[in-house]
Structure 1
């Protein structure tokens, strides 16, 4: 555990911004990942990180040193996230208006604020089991305090007493919330078996999707595979419904061409999706596709429709589709 230097702490309390950055700098990234898990949105996580740092700067005199600086910062970040959820009532993005009439979805989701996060395989805070898109999405369906307890206890391994102090509650309440959250998570998140040929599977998907080969895409899905498109609430489950949607989409697409640029998101293979104008050769952002492999097939295709995500993934604003 990193120790706080008293001299550095004293300088920060005296208003030395450089000393403050020295104190909190090692924790900024993991705090942002923490906020992302609870909020499910990169945009909101960035906002909450800044609010956390500002609150820490203003409240540094109140840090008595009984808990580690890391735990103190997590307390601030967690409560800022919970306050944001409560105050905003889960800010729901506006549902996009599709350029064609889509087929009737199998179901609709309320979790439309979900965003993917760029993947860094070397990042210790992006461990596969607690950074996967399905896990982050499942957290959004838990009561917020249960989600916070689950992350603090099972992901970050804070002791129950520390979590109780962070949330101004009792250890008994923490244990109860954790038990309920674990039970709910077991019902909604099914661990996927390893995909030893993940890269080949992703390439086969990219080839079929780019070519408008609906049968080829559907063939790669598990029997219960599904397609989601945040921030649209539509979800298509099963081969027949995914087939119907992609067929209508292919008809709307016409002679325009796709190019998929590989990236990674939430430990999964992903693609920046670019679409040309009719007769054109330059592709423009058309969303980010994130695949969840399951053995030798794909369980979920999540097509995030926000063009603003491209910059976060370091993807270009346009590509040649030739």
Structure 2
């Protein structure tokens, strides 16, 4: 696999390290790519913990394959190739990493293994295509999971990372014609899964939250802390899409029905009405981290993460993640 480019400083240094067998310098050189490789694995797998594991497996496999690197491709390209195939091997062995039909009619498919991705773990360079907001939001990550694994890899390499067909074909050991065909099929599926969304993944993308988004997540937390059910209801659109993972069932509901459902489930009732929250961002989206204190507990304990998609100042989609008892995303377990 070649990039038709002169040998760069990273590549020359890496070859020297390979020849010396210096594990410490090997780790130092490859570590700078960890965050972007982890995002790549996350797009492939939709699961933060799996992405961490597969990134580590990428570095282990790179060490074992180090003598195969000859500098004809950029070091980044070589590592992406390994990471992609690590993810494909993982998916080949797992039959629980594909969307399954939803139990509720019209709810589409469920992705019980979906996990949010903390923004603080994204690559720091905002110009990198790997951090474009439109390609890390939950809706995009879920849509990608509807692609067969190899088609998924082609789509991410070609349309997200912008690789030419020949480079993607080399990485996946496919023909250029096969890559072109797979990409065409993938684009059709993505249009079906993301109706009305911007589908030009390689043009300029926004990164910062809007004032509407910042205001909505603050108001969402405030409504919890004050047990203001009317205020909470006023934040929700009447065509709210709601899911609470890992429970099955994404539903479209009215604001009143959503709040009534949370009440009937025991939330905002005695023993489940003492809330605190902190704002954060995951998947370049506003999120509320909710903590609950029960009457016999002196501390507020991590309860859930609510990831919000805001449209015109209101919550159009709310994806909740049960975080009870989990040391998750390095969030504080108690407040």
CA contact (8 A) 1:255 1:279 kept: no
1:94-243 pair list within 5 angstroms? 107=107, 109-120=109-120, 122-124=124-126, 125-189=130-194, 190-191=196-197, 195-239=210-254, 241-243=257-259
Distance 1:25 1:315 in 2: 23
Note the aligned Cα RMSD (angstroms): 2.6
Greater relative contact order: 1 or 2 (C-alpha under 8 angstroms, separation 6 or more)? 1
1:294 to partner: Cα distance = 1.6
Contact 2:118–2:282 (CA under 8 A) maintained in structure 1: yes
Distance in 1 between residues matched to 2:310 and 2:68, nearest whole Å: 47
Alpha-carbon deviation of 1:307? 3.9
1:43 to 45, 49, 54: 49
1:270 is matched with: 287
**Uncovered stretches (5+) of structure 2, i.e. residues with no partner:** 99-103, 199-205
Deviation (angstroms), 1:75: 0.9
Contact 1:105 1:234 in 2 (8 A): no
Quick check: 1:12–1:19 contact (8 Å CA) kept in 2? no
Partner of 1:13: 19
Shift of 1:107: 4.1
The answer to whether structure 1 residue 249 and structure 2 residue 255 are counterparts is: no
Q: Is the 8 Å Cα contact of residues 163 and 174 (structure 1) preserved in structure 2?
A: yes
Which secondary structure does the structure 1 equivalent of 2:247 belong to? coil
1:297 deviates by: 1.3
Aligned residues: 307
CA distance in 2, matches of 1:4, 1:308: 43
Shift of 1:28: 1.4
Distance 1:152 1:206 in 2: 38
1:316 aligns with 2:332: yes
**TM-score for both structures, normalised by structure 2:** 0.82
TM-score normalised to the size of structure 1? 0.86
Distance of 1:45 and 1:251 partners within structure 2: 32
CA gap 1:109/1:166 in 2 versus in 1, 3 angstroms? same
